[in-house]
Amino acid sequence: MRSDIVKKGATRCAHRSLFHANGFGPEELSKPLVGICNSFNEIIPGHMHLKSITEAAKLGVAAAGGTPIEFPAIGVCDGIAMGHTGMKFSLASRELIADSIEAVAMASGFDALVLIPNCDKVVPGMLMAAARLNIPSVLVSGGPMLAGRFHGKDVSVSQSFEAAGKFAAGTMDAEEMADLEAHACPGCGSCAGLFTANTMNSLTEALGMGLPGNGTIPAAYNGARLLLAKRAGAVVMELLKKDIKPRDIMTREAFENAITVDMGIGGSSNTVLHLTAIAHEAGIEIPAPLFDEISRRTPYITKLSPAGKHHMQDLDEAGGISAVMHELSKKGILHLDAMTVTGPLGERIKDAEIERPDVIRSVDDPYRKTGGIAILQGNICPDYAVVKASAVSEDMLIYKGTARCFNSEEEGVNAIMDGKIHNGDVVVIRYEGPKGGPGMQEMLNPTAVITGMGLKVALITDGRFSGASQGACIGHISPEAMAGGVIALIEDGDIISVDIPNRKLELEVSDEELAKRRANWTCPEPKIKTGYLSRYAKLTTSASTGAVVK
């Protein structure tokens, strides 16, 4: 066993003494040591209940003959970090999570891992660590939050963000806003729509690293969640016995399966960053055009919030991700022989059925014939840009507007709230990329305010968007402004053309004029010059390569 390096032989006498101090005696040390990484904290609603999930996973490991040893991981709540300097740390925290798990696992000599995340960057950070360490691992999440109820309708945190725009437009008063904020998030779990956290937990199933139900069983369904965690503990022991490692599971075919499911359910645009980064850790290159290639052949068969009225609990009732995959397999677009933590994918989903056809449509009657995410290219984004096409209204799929440029998210939000943005504009928010932000912060505030105010505008940025964003919101523009990308050269009054069906994003300015502007452009000073973010800005790569640190 790998853990023998910390517990066997005369030279490990001191090591065994330290284990003894923790209450681990000879019997426990004779068994495999399984690290249980618990990202519990009291700031993220999706994580506040993870102590019970962790205890269940530990029971599963112990019952299957292992010695579970718990250790922590950090987590940032994207919703609470939104709209201020804290959001700059969100994406950057993904690297801290992966690095810290690597440090603890290597220093402790663990034989295997059970990884327990729930929200946004914690899920991909843990999957990155699993791919990097390549020791038997299973991920089990805390599950999605139930939708809240407001004025007789299901709501989630996205309506709370949009309330700011409605308040500014005078269509919601302070009393109604207070009533909404008290009911939008009713309890524990990752925010109820198909936002980044729930997308990544769902894709963990498709990738093969999580059990069926990982992405959709609500956090409030305590019994089902605890049983899932116990089973995860047992499964990791089986993987250890069979010597099945993450890179045996996270193959090129597995990533193609995950991208296919992503397109079929219309997941968060952040998945382009995260799947690329996880694949990088597994030694696999996932070029941006692959996402679009798969999108073009994948029908979009669910329409969950923010694109539609359904939430994760509805998807769970409908049969969950297994039912989605079974339906998509009818098009021959999944690798059914891909390995999962419980065996071949085809075996896992063969008996899955759609229980609610109002939530999961058939591949013969999809919402759209192509997938939920589109990769755009053009002179603004010669590398790539990404848009959650499933959350764009039909009348905004092709759009031409006048540029209104801002060099930070704050400037853009203030202009929108002050009524300076009008129908027909294209809001350009730049210097918010991985290096420029730094940290590539999400733009949920401006998109939610635009939605709440009922404006018909597009927004483009070298930053990124929350999975809760909706509308013609185009992010990840690469190269970013801080690297001298064309987005840095756009001026107020320029005409920008958006053509999502044909995958085009163009600035209607001549090459000669752009060359003149470039000659006069100078790179601005970094926004943050000390601490972790200053180091991150120097080491991170472009969004087009997953914004990984090298």
208 near 254, Cβ under 8 Å? yes
3-state secondary structure of 191: coil
Tokens read off for 38? 């618990």
Active site (annotated) includes residue 466: yes
Cα separation, 345 vs 261, in Å, equals: 13
138 near 239, Cβ under 8 Å? yes
265 near 278, Cβ under 8 Å? no
Tokens read off for 463? 């930053």
* Strands, E assignment, 341-424: 343-344, 374-376, 384-387, 398-406
Cα separation, 41 vs 139, in Å, equals: 18
328 near 261, Cβ under 8 Å? yes
Tokens read off for 209? 């690293």
Cα separation, 311 vs 318, in Å, equals: 11
Cα separation, 413 vs 434, in Å, equals: 20
Cα separation, 32 vs 37, in Å, equals: 16
Helices (H), ranges, 87-191 = 88-108, 122-133, 157-169, 174-183
Q: Which residues contact 332 (CB under 8 A, 6 or more apart)?
A: none
| Angle between helix 88-108 and 531-539 (nearest 10) | 90
> Among 530, 523, 526, which residue's Cα sits nearest to residue 434?
526
Distances (CA, A) of 339 to 317, 364, 367: 26, 27, 30
Q: Which residues contact 98 (CB under 8 A, 6 or more apart)?
A: 125, 126, 128, 129, 132, 281
3-state secondary structure of 364: coil
Find how far residue 227's CA is from the centre of its chain.
25
For residue 497, what are the β-bridge partners? Answer: 400, 506
CB neighbours of residue 284 within 10 Å = 17
269 near 384, Cβ under 8 Å? no
Q: Is the peptide bond before 438 cis (omega within 30 degrees of 0)?
A: yes
Q: Which residue of the set 3, 190, 305, 466 is catalytic?
A: 466
**Which residues belong to the active site?**
466
